């Protein structure tokens, strides 16, 4: 690997393998807090060094509440990653968040529980209270927005990501509550990934692909068939944005 910038792409549901990578090597990275979810894939994409990580493993086996987010982030830090583009499949709560919309969220509400969600736990590192007013890196979000524009991909800039525990989807009442709390999107992996990146001072931004309307926001129940259709169509657009970002 060469150069000072090394972008990590962290893929989730629908992106456990990144198409088009020129793969140099793959390596499971061991850290003091365990191993990464899957081997880190060291590759070149559009002339840039990148590292790809499938956060649920490859094949997709780890549920969102069982992912070792701390090991994943430590592994990315260990190999010298300087910025992280996280890709998440999410449900859409507010009106603009229809299936296949891509949003770059700017805020988070965390509803997860019981996850190892800090390095500053008084065991691994001494207790510290970090600022998290702006959970995502503004410059990286702006660069992704410009990349989307350049690639002629519509996105919604700004949105509040509500992180739920999963692996089940939400009840209608939970989504009503989340909407009252100001959430636009609901997903299961946005936290603690974002805060752990901040604790390591690695700029982190998200491309959230809406793959279904959240519970109660459309007729009928949410089916995996609908989710898979939106994933198949939408992930190609996410990749166009990432390609445009790397080709800057």
Residue of this chain nearest to ligand HPA (CB atom): 91
- Residue 212 binding ligand HPA, by CB under 6 A: yes
User: Minimum distance from CB of 169 to ligand HPA (Å)?
Assistant: 5
- Residue 208 binding ligand HPA, by CB under 6 A: no
In the list 10, 40, 54, 188, the residue contacting ligand HPA (rule: CB under 6 A) is: 188
- Residue 242 binding ligand HPA, by CB under 6 A: no
Pairing verdict, β 204-213 and 102-104: antiparallel
| Binding window for ligand HPA (CB under 6 A); candidates: 18-26, 46-54, 140-148, 185-193 | 185-193
Burial letters 65-75, b for 16+ CB under 10 A, else e: eebbbbbbbbb
Tracing tokens 């992280």 back to the chain, one arrives at 84
Handedness of CA 231, 74, 141, 183 (dihedral sign): positive
- Residue 77 binding ligand HPA, by CB under 6 A: no
Say whether 19 sits in a helix, a strand or coil: coil
- Residue 170 binding ligand HPA, by CB under 6 A: yes
- Residue 169 binding ligand HPA, by CB under 6 A: yes
192, 186 Cβ separation under 8 angstroms: no
> What are phi and psi for residue 34, nearest 5 degrees?
115, -175
Nearest CB to ligand HPA, comparing residues 34 and 216: 216
Size of the site for ligand HPA (CB under 6 A): 12
CA terminus-to-terminus distance, the chain: 19
CA–CA dist 90, 207 (Å, integer): 10
Residue 186's Cβ-count burial label (10 Å; 0-12, 13-18, 19+) is buried
User: Minimum distance from CB of 22 to ligand HPA (Å)?
Assistant: 30
Nearest CB to ligand HPA, comparing residues 83 and 212: 212
User: Minimum distance from CB of 162 to ligand HPA (Å)?
Assistant: 8
Nearest CB to ligand HPA, comparing residues 169 and 229: 169
| Binding window for ligand HPA (CB under 6 A); candidates: 35-43, 86-94, 104-112, 143-151 | 86-94
- Residue 16 binding ligand HPA, by CB under 6 A: no
Distances in Å between the alpha carbon of 199 and those of 75, 84, 136, 202?
14, 13, 12, 8
- Residue 207 binding ligand HPA, by CB under 6 A: no
143, 211 Cβ separation under 8 angstroms: no
Nearest CB to ligand HPA, comparing residues 149 and 226: 226
Contact residues for ligand HPA (CB under 6 A)?
A: 89-91, 164, 169-170, 186-188, 211-212, 214
């Amino acid at each position: 690997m060469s150069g000072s910038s090394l972008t990590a792409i962290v893929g989730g549901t629908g992106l456990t393998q990144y198409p088009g990578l020129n793969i140099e090597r793959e390596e499971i990275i061991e850290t003091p807090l365990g191993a990464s979810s899957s081997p880190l894939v060291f590759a070149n994409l559009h002339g840039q060094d990148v590292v790809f990580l499938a956060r649920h493993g490859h094949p997709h086996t780890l549920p969102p509440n069982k992912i070792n987010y701390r090991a994943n982030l430590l592994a990315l830090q260990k190999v010298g990653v300087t910025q992280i583009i996280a890709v998440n499949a999410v449900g859409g709560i507010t009106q603009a968040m229809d299936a296949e919309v891509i949003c770059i969220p700017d805020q988070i509400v965390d509803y997860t529980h019981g996850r190892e969600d800090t390095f500053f736990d008084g065991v691994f590192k001494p207790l510290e209270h970090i600022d998290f007013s702006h959970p995502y890196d503004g410059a990286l979000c702006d660069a992704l927005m410009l990349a989307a524009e350049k690639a002629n991909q519509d996105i919604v800039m700004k949105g509040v990501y509500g992180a739920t525990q999963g692996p089940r989807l939400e009840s209608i009442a939970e989504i009503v509550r989340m909407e009252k709390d100001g959430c636009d999107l609901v997903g299961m992996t946005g936290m603690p990934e974002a805060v752990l990146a901040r604790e390591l001072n690695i700029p982190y931004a998200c491309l959230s692909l809406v793959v279904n309307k959240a519970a109660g926001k459309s007729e009928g129940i949410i089916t995996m068939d609908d989710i898979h259709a939106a994933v198949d169509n939408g992930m190609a657009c996410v990749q166009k944005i990432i390609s445009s970002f790397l080709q800057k």
